[in-house]
Amino acid sequence: MKYKNKLIALLILVSILRLLYVIHTPFDLSPDEAHYWEWSRRPGLSYYSKGPLVAWIIASFTALFGDTALSVRAGAVLFSALSSYLMYLLGRDVFESEKAGFYSALLPVIIPVFSIGSVLMTTDVLLVFFWAASVYSLARAVETERSAWWVVAGLSVGLGFLAKYTMVLLYPSVLILFIFSGRLRPWLRRPQPYMAGLTSLVLATPVIIWNIIHGQVTIRHTLGQAHVGSGAFSLLPALEFLGAQAALTTPVIFIGLVYGLWMCWKWGVREKRDAALLAVFASVPLFLFFLFKGLHGKVQANWAVASYVTAIPAGVWAFSRAYRASGQRRKRVLGVVAAFGLFLGATVTTLAYFPWTLEPVWPRVLWGPPYNRVMGWAELGERVSEAKEELGPRTFIMSDSYQVTSELAMYTEGNPVTFNAFTGARRMNQYDLWPGFDDLWGFNAVYVKAQDEEIEPVVAQAFEKCDKELFTIYRNEEVYKTFSIFSCSGFKGMEDQPVRHMKY
């Protein structure tokens, strides 16, 4: 119990610090966060690229605390803390060590792959929580043979699917495990696993219904993102993916996690530990899936984040076991390695939270991703607010990208409804499924484009007149971001662009 009490106190403290960081950070909402917040303002059964859960959670917090960055990101802080606690339970119950559970919960607080995402409200933070809840429930279901745990597992998978569709990959991983393990194979002849599957399917119904209504646009988008049907083959994206994983976990810890999964596999096979094998199969197949997808196209570094949910407890357990079996000299070496790994992870995370401290030695640290994606939006919103006021009350706001459109909705005074104009040069997104601006004839508009760009003919022809202003944001007396702001008057309507002709 001493580890449990320490952990709860630690998670409460860390959560308070994270909330304070969100309040005082100079970073604005990322485009994805702003877009999810836009979803939350229009409740639906699902949305174009993701399930509805992220929008529902944001809507719950904004209903209580208003449309602020803190309200949007509060859910991330909460679910990050809950995920750490679930990883404690995995370490404690699967690997039979409360101490291993404590350090399994501590690592996500330290290493960048989890800690950075803990203050960003994305679908990943929800995926991690429900992946951990599902694996833990399955482990308890197999161990106790209680049907209630199978129901909990089904609920967890279903809710996780409503957050991010990667969740569905847990089912084939578990199926492979049950076929592989002679001790678990009899479960395939029992009703409980199918009851869990049915439960998750029922929870997925909103997404299914929404896609039937909207012509399966999510399926088409997801297949495109997964490079399904792509014939290209290249080692470089896969190697970049591996490098990104080592960077996000730090190399020392990444090697330790790989070692932990290998030892967990040997332990599970030799000593017939089904829970240990579940930890392996809940991690390795998912990781390998995205690694192999990297042979055919770009794979984002965060896509495999759920694979660390059980890899971390496995790594902690393997290290503890190796440490106990070592002599004094080797223990000192292992202790130094562990301390260095934790120090490196904590250092990288701290610098990621406070990157401006690096500016004396790395002056342009904030000029590249991810920081250039979360800065400058409040300043842009302030200028667009002024331009909107100058044009009068009958003025709407639009942009040519969903990212800018979403940020303008958040940071323009009054949080107005904004529109994403289709000019023939972008992919489909959620804005294309919402009502457009056809009923705004005669209105004025503020049209915003990133960089120094000219207005497209299709947009210019929709107004009687458009005047361009180049809006520049500076940092340390250097140009940081540039936007083209067009003040347009006399909207005459734009040619309707059928959704079916857009790229998915």
pLDDT tens readout for residues 138-176: 999 999 999 999 999 999 999 999 999 999 999 999 999
Across the range 337-345, mean pLDDT stands at 94
Distance spanning both ends of the chain, measured CA to CA? 51
Residue 228 has pLDDT above 70, yes or no: no
Across the range 411-427, mean pLDDT stands at 92
Grade residue 437 by pLDDT with cuts at 50, 70 and 90.
confident
Q: Copy the structure tokens of residue 313.
A: 């407890």
Residue 224 has pLDDT above 70, yes or no: no
Domain ranges within the chain, ordered by starting residue: 14-24+50-353, 371-501
pLDDT in tens, 362-384: 999 999 999 999 999 999 999 99
Grade residue 294 by pLDDT with cuts at 50, 70 and 90.
confident
Residue 278 has pLDDT above 80, yes or no: yes
Grade residue 262 by pLDDT with cuts at 50, 70 and 90.
very high
What confidence score (pLDDT) does residue 148 get? 97
Across the range 298-321, mean pLDDT stands at 93
Average pLDDT, the chain: 93
pLDDT in tens, 440-467: 999 999 999 999 999 999 999 999 999 9
Give the Cα separation of 258 and 319 in Å (integer).
11
**Which of 23, 14, 127 shows the shortest CA–CA distance to 72?**
23
HSE-up (13 A, CA, CB side) for residue 188: 14
Helices 217-225 and 205-213 cross at an angle (nearest 10°) of: 100
Give the Cα separation of 113 and 129 in Å (integer).
14
Residue with tokens 């309040």: 23
Across the range 36-56, mean pLDDT stands at 96
Name the more confident of 134 and 233. Answer: 134
Residue 9 has pLDDT above 70, yes or no: yes
Helices 308-324 and 251-270 cross at an angle (nearest 10°) of: 80
Give the Cα separation of 336 and 340 in Å (integer).
6
Residues 6+ apart with CB under 8 A from 58: 36, 37, 39, 40, 71, 72, 75, 121
What confidence score (pLDDT) does residue 230 get? 53
Across the range 419-441, mean pLDDT stands at 89
CA distances from 212 to 159, 205, 219, 436, 501 (A): 20, 11, 10, 22, 18
481 SS3 class: strand
Across the range 293-305, mean pLDDT stands at 87
What confidence score (pLDDT) does residue 210 get? 95
Give the Cα separation of 61 and 55 in Å (integer).
10
Residue 231 has pLDDT above 60, yes or no: no
Residue 190 has pLDDT above 70, yes or no: yes
Across the range 17-44, mean pLDDT stands at 97
The 8-class DSSP code of residue 234 comes to -
Across the range 416-434, mean pLDDT stands at 91
Grade residue 338 by pLDDT with cuts at 50, 70 and 90.
very high
Q: H or E segment at 268?
A: helix 251-270
Across the range 323-351, mean pLDDT stands at 93
Across the range 77-93, mean pLDDT stands at 97
What confidence score (pLDDT) does residue 500 get? 42
CB neighbour burial string for 110-123, b if at least 16 within 10 angstroms, e if fewer = bbbbbbbbbbbbbb
What confidence score (pLDDT) does residue 504 get? 42
What confidence score (pLDDT) does residue 227 get? 54
Q: Copy the structure tokens of residue 124.
A: 């990943």
User: Which segment of 80-84, 383-387, 474-478 scores lowest on mean pLDDT?
Assistant: 474-478
pLDDT in tens, 205-221: 999 999 999 888 887 77
DSSP 312-328: HHHHHHHHHHHHHTS-H
Sign, CA dihedral 426-431-433-439, equals: negative
Number of neighbours of residue 332 by Cβ within 10 angstroms: 11
Across the range 323-337, mean pLDDT stands at 92
376 SS3 class: coil
Give the Cα separation of 503 and 126 in Å (integer).
28
Give the Cα separation of 309 and 80 in Å (integer).
12
| Model-wide pTM > 0.85 | yes
The 8-class DSSP code of residue 452 comes to S
The 8-class DSSP code of residue 68 comes to S
Residue 74 has pLDDT above 90, yes or no: yes
What confidence score (pLDDT) does residue 99 get? 92
